[in-house]
Structure 1
Amino acid sequence: MPEQMKYPYPILDLEHARNALARVAQHGTAAEQEKVRAAVVKKYPSLKKDD
């Protein structure tokens, strides 16, 4: 595994968006999680969770 992962993963389609959210949830810092979530929601608003 790389010493430092790069985020966000490519968000080419809905499957990649879900994968990016899953990976950053497992391995990302809070800042990385926020950055990836923002990118995913921007491209796929339907994936936004109500808090």
Structure 2
Amino acid sequence: MAKGKTKQDAKAIAKDVVKVLKELDRKGELARAGKKVAKAINNLRKERRLTWEQLH
């Protein structure tokens, strides 16, 4: 995949994520979702032995 395409895909995904986060916030479920995301990131780090910098 071309680098430009990847950047466009990342922007589209980020836009969708923000939309969902706003919806969760409206429903009062943002904190719970944040905990699930943090847990998923930690699990990924353990599986792949990724550093914090590699995740960003």
Do they fold alike, i.e. is TM over 0.5?
Answer: no
- The structure whose residues are more often helix, as a share, is 2
Q: TM-score, normalised by structure 2?
A: 0.33
Q: Which one has a bigger Cα radius of gyration?
A: 2
